[in-house]
A and B are shown apart, each in its own frame.
Chain A
Amino acid sequence: MTQLVQALVLGLLIGGVYALMASGLTLIFGVMNIINVAHGALLILVAFITWKIWSLSGIDPILLSVVMTPLMFGFGWLLYKGVLSRISGSSPGMSVLLTFGIAITIEGVLNVTAGNRFRSATPSYFSQSFRVLGISLPKAQVFGCLAAVLVLGLLFVVLSKTWTGRAIRATAQNASGAALVGIQSAGVAALAFAIGTATTGVGGSILSVLYPFFPASHYDWISRLLGIIVLGGMGSLAGALVGALILGLAETLTATYVSLQWSTLIFYAVIMLVLLFRPQGLFGSRLRQDVMA
């Protein structure tokens, strides 16, 4: 029983971090129909910078997300204005090609500057755990999940309670309708891309502690994150959260009761099963107008 509870709690902790990483990806797709294949590479880029600063200064890697998040916000803004805005209105397929180019550029730069080998930030609490009711909770997982929940909560408040958030959601649902109420869609798209990229500031800092990484790790990460948002429903933040928790639980439960090698396969099997019955994903809703269209 303790083993099951332990696996469930660990699954939820990991799922929380996955949710944060996937939230930026789904936000960008929802607002701009851009499938940002470079999202994984941006996570690895942040993980490298975090690891480098930690190894030089000893500053806590997760705490470094306070610096990395605004930096990535700015980087995302520039990336959108300078590159991605040029394919505004094009098909999602075009965005896959362009962002794949950005991803392999980042990978190449990291290969040249940081070298093609595994890294991992290991702060003092890396191998320590909290003991709660007989369950062992690794401190790094707990801190990572807390940071993720904090950022996801902030994102939720911004999107649902502020005019900026309403403008982002309105543009995501109906760009010309948004223009007609006076929302400047180009500015909103840049803002949404910057916010989506800013989530890699926190996600990458957490990743540097929880998972060993090297430049090409982004292929693995983008596969997982795309899997999460397809399962949850492309463009749905709630879907990304649930999809991420399912991935976290599928991984830890399979690793605990079957074998570590099967853990990722189970997740993709769940995706295939769900899509057979709900092609729009778990939270991709079908409204009256979708059926009528």
Chain B
Amino acid sequence: MLTISGVFAGYGGGDVLQGLDLEVPTGAITCIVGPNGAGKSTVLRVVSGLLKPRLGTIDLDGTRLDQLGTAGVLGKGVAQVPQSQALFPQMSIRENVLLGGYTLRRDKQLLAKRYDRVAELIPIVAERSHDKAGNLSGGQRRMVEIARCLMVEPSVLLLDEPSLGLDPMSLTGVSQLVKDANAGGTTVLLVEQNVRLGLSMATHGVVLEGGRVRLEAPAAELMANPEVAELYLGGASHDSKAPRPAESAHPVPGR
């Protein structure tokens, strides 16, 4: 279980996360949705160690992550695919994916074994291994970014806006990849501006507003929630049989 407790964090102009409390169940796909500026990407950055929280703790199965920095967090099996371009554009796809195993570099055999496995799982890694990463399309880049993360066989995968700028075919490929990783035992925490897509991939959903959790529930229930439908899905819920918000999604007291 990944547990975020009372986290305050920001970028110098005040806190974006305002005492965030969130539990990410092991083995689930949890999707965070919310308006622009709610702090969705910031949640991922504090978990991966890119941003140090000012206050609060982040704990993975009893191990504190919030003091470790990016290398330490990665060492605990938490890998992030950020929203903006994360690859090394002048390097080949092979080099990019291998660098995903930078923390395993002393074990050459393990590194080679992991690379072969990832290349088998994500065909573009083998097909275009010598091409420069900067020459890939948006969808292909996303695939390689996820491939790079899989080199450490993460127990938790953090995905920031996986659908951003992707065409429908690439989107299907990326969604399938996330589901496959999850089926293999990886806990997924994703942030998605495309609420319908995000919640359809997820098992759990969280609505973030003003740096705090506003609602949390199983993803299907959250999709059926009229308030969520009104605010984020462009109209009323598509499932008229869905329970009312008070019966399903759980507004978090005091948030």
Contacts and interface: CB of A to CB of B under 8 A. Distances in A.
Given A181-B148, A183-B102, A174 B89 contact: yes
B100 interface: yes
Contacts of B99: 166, 170, 178, 181, 183
B41 interface: no
Given A167-B102, A288-B135, A180 B48 contact: yes
B36 interface: no
Contact of A181 (B85, B89, B102, B137): B102
A157 to B, nearest CB: 16
B135 A174 contact: no
Contact of A174 (B75, B85, B102): B85
B128 interface: no
Interface in B89-110: 89-91, 95, 98-100, 102-103, 105
Nearest to A286: B134
Contact of A179 (B70, B75, B138, B148): B70
Nearest to A236: B90
Given A180-B74, A182-B102, A166 B82 contact: no
Contact of A177 (B69, B74, B87, B95): B87
B79 interface: yes
Interface in A167-187: 167, 169-170, 173-174, 176-184
B80 interface: yes
Contact of A290 (B102, B134, B136): B134
A289 B131 CA distance: 13
B134 A287 contact: yes
Contacts of B86: 174, 176-177, 180
Q: Which of A180, A287, A288, A289 has the most CB of B within 10 A?
A: A180
A163 interface: yes
B242 to A, nearest CB: 38
B155 to A, nearest CB: 15
A174 to B, nearest CB: 5
Contacts of A181: 74, 99-100, 102-103, 148
A178 B69 CA distance: 13
Contact of A182 (B75, B135, B136, B138): B75
Given A182-B102, A182-B103, A288-B135, A177 B70 contact: no
B136 A180 contact: no
B231 interface: no
Contacts of A163: 102, 105
15 contacts: A163-B102, A166-B98, A170-B88, A170-B99, A173-B91, A174-B87, A174-B88, A174-B89, A176-B86, A177-B87, A181-B100, A182-B71, A184-B69, A287-B134, A290-B89
Interface of A: 163, 166-167, 169-170, 173-174, 176-184, 285, 287-290, 292
